[in-house]
A and B are shown apart, each in its own frame.
Chain A
Amino acid sequence: MTAPLPTLERLPRGALTLFRLRALLRMGIYGAIAFAIALALSFAGNEHWPFLLPCAVVLGLSVLTAWYPQRAHERWGWALREHDLVISHGVLLHEVVSIPAGRIQHVDVHQGPIERSLGLARLQIYTAAGSGADGEIPGLARETADALRERLVRREADDVV
């Protein structure tokens, strides 16, 4: 019964930069929130210990930022086959998704400011299964994303769900 996974296409090197930038941004936001809480606590009468909170948050997130993006980049992969699109990802929770070609309702190509500056795009694949995207591939080169979208939508969907 065991059938090995197909050979997966890996994300480009630029995706790793994207993941790292995102992690840094996340660290900045959470650090700022923690700093604001610490400031509020110090105004409320506490002495210097509240400022240990943002330090701990930034330290923890720094370790995570150094380790996580690389691992996530290694885990992301996709393969377009005759009958489906396979996406594999996840560091802590590993997930392999198969979306049958005939079930794809629509495909979105999304570019945020960071992605645009790096020439990357995020592909979101929707079926009739739920309200959100059933599959997502971040950090694709814009041309790859457009070509993949074109290939996916040109496979005619089944009439009924």
Chain B
Amino acid sequence: MSSEPVALASSEEVPWKRLSAKAPLAALVPLSGMIARVFLGALLPTYFAGERGLPTVLWVIVVGLAVLMLAAGLYEVATTSYRVVDAQLEIRSGILTRTSRFIEAARVQNTEVLQPFVSKLLGLVEVKVETASGGKADGHLRGLTPEDAQALIHALQAVRGGVTVAVPLPGESIPEERVLSEARLGGLLLYGATALGLGVLAVVLGALHEITETFHKLLLPWMEAHWESLAAPGMSWLAATVAALAGLFGLWLVSGVRAVLRFHGFRLVDTGTHLRAVGGLITRRQVTVRRARIQQVVLDEPLMRRTLGFGSVEVETAGVRTGNEAADRAELLVPVVPTARMPELLREFVPELPDALSFQGAHPKALLRARIRAVGLSVLVAAPATWFWGAWGAVAWLLLPAQLLGAWFDWRFQGWLVTEALVVVRQGFWHRRTTVVQRSRIQSVRARQGPLERGYGIGHVRIDVAGSHVILPSVGWAEAQSLIDVLPARRPTRRAPPQGVQLPG
């Protein structure tokens, strides 16, 4: 493919390109993982139920289904071929039932080249081509040679009219490219330690469960043998403190390892028309985002990261990704950006960003609403806690002043700003997120007013861009209604010739 001309050719002239012969082998592990996730719902209860799990017949059915699904997946990989023709990427698979998928090059939001561990051993890569159509990649080719992957991305960039740029293999670099950001090991460990998410919590809880199960027989006799010293006054506090510290250390460790696995050797480069990020320890990942496709940029600065002098930047295109956390949903994530370098890097993504951001604050009555919510939340937690645990549960009422203080901080430090080309929204004090949306990318704007807001005469505005959305801090209801007119950038609407269509009346 690399030797094929990029110029448009008729569909008869362009030959089909097959995946590597080793592609099914490379796809075996990821496909098995995907199928295992499908059956996880059936397998997990069986695991915890022990001997009272699924009967043998059902096991045979489950395993049979899994093998069938794996065989179907491998058959699809083995029969997949592709070509770039008529400004489209055409992917074809199957022999008996043939499926063809056409992806218009102009609609491609971003491309991703992955090299998981098994693929690395086989000298292959995977290519994902994302459009704005759904929650997963529209084109996913497993088992290409790196040269073919490079040629494919090259061809897609060329036929959609962009300046042709050389796309290196994951890990390679081209001297004339400008490096925008790099991540070092220390920075990544700090990023991981300040990014404790649900995924990390799940891993740590799972590990704790396994450790407790495994060492139960060892720990119990030891505890019984040292019962007198363990039951000494003050030991329960000591044990609780040690357990809390060990838990926290475990969380940080897992989070740090996850960050290193995902971003090791991270490097963001500017190729002129595109931004390319490469990183990852076991699975090497290369994401290429066309500058013109950037929908919004988010600056993520939790208090801990601000104190340590850095933040993260998420770049989103219209490609829709799924994930529990915003960082997982972003197409491109720069994990560690020193605070001093942030304005400069942000301007690389959105050149129209003004030097000084003078935010307009949230409506004063929004504070009252936030306080009511804080009181409601505290009562919901503290009242049952007091009911069940008595005096110890009453400690939960300390949540009330903390929530009230938090509500004030969040209200005080949020703001929004509308410039000629951008909408900038800042939210949160403890977990500050500053979102920059291009007004020309706005898909729809909605002003909303709930019953409580109606009482205060305020409302909020939600801006939708392709693949994401942002909510402005509360404003007066009249202003919220006017913003739906103000925010979308006006473009001359091209109309088709009149067809004599008239609305009744």
Contacts and interface: CB of A to CB of B under 8 A. Distances in A.
**Chains A and B bind each other:** yes
A63 interface: no
Contacts of A83: 488, 490-491, 493
Contacts of A99: 443-444
Interface string B121-152: 00000000000101100000000000000000
B399 interface: no
B499 interface: yes
Interface string B265-308: 00000000000000000000000000011010000000000000
A95 B482 contact: no
Among A80, A129, A154, find the residue whose CB has the most chain B CB atoms closer than 10 A.
A129
A52 interface: no
Contact of A160 (B106, B449, B490): B106
A97 B454 contact: no
Contact of A100 (B132, B444, B459): B444
Contact of A92 (B109, B442, B450): B450
B481 A96 contact: yes
Interface string B459-491: 100001111010000000011111011101011
Nearest to A84: B488
B446 A100 contact: no
A151 B503 CA distance: 9
Contacts of A1: 479, 482, 486
B445 to A, nearest CB: 5
A143 interface: yes
Interface residues of B, number: 49
A161 B320 CA distance: 12
Contacts of A154: 495-496, 499, 501
Interface in A103-126: 103
Contacts of B480: 96
Given A5-B481, A160-B293, A96 B493 contact: no
Interface string A83-103: 110100000111111111111
A94 B484 contact: no
Contacts of A93: 448-451
A7 to B, nearest CB: 13
Nearest to A148: B503
B318 interface: yes
Contacts of B484: 86, 96-98
Contacts of B485: 3, 98
Nearest to A141: B504
Interface residues of A, number: 43
Contact of B106 (A82, A103, A159): A159
A106 B502 CA distance: 19
Contact of B444 (A2, A134, A159): A134
Q: Is the contact region of chain B dominated by helix, strand, or loop, or is it mixed?
A: mixed
Contacts of A141: 504
Given A130-B464, A134-B464, A92 B451 contact: yes
A147 interface: yes
A95 B448 contact: yes
Interface string A14-36: 00000000000000000000000
Given A154-B499, A159-B106, A160-B106, A100 B442 contact: yes
Interface in B31-90: none
B209 interface: no
A82 B496 CA distance: 14
A71 to B, nearest CB: 13
A9 B501 CA distance: 18
A96 B446 contact: yes
Nearest to B496: A154
A94 B149 CA distance: 50
Given A94-B448, A147-B502, A154-B499, A129 B490 contact: no
A128 B132 contact: yes
Nearest to B503: A147
Nearest to B319: A161
A151 B501 contact: yes
B463 to A, nearest CB: 9
A98 B481 CA distance: 10
19 contacts: A3-B485, A83-B493, A92-B450, A95-B447, A96-B484, A97-B484, A99-B443, A100-B442, A100-B443, A127-B443, A127-B464, A127-B466, A128-B132, A130-B469, A143-B504, A144-B503, A155-B496, A156-B496, A161-B443
Given A2-B481, A135-B444, A151-B503, 8 more contacts: A83-B491, A84-B488, A97-B444, A129-B466, A129-B467, A130-B464, A134-B444, A147-B501
A-B interface, 3 closest residue pairs, ranked by CB to CB distance from nearest: A129-B443, A129-B464, A98-B484
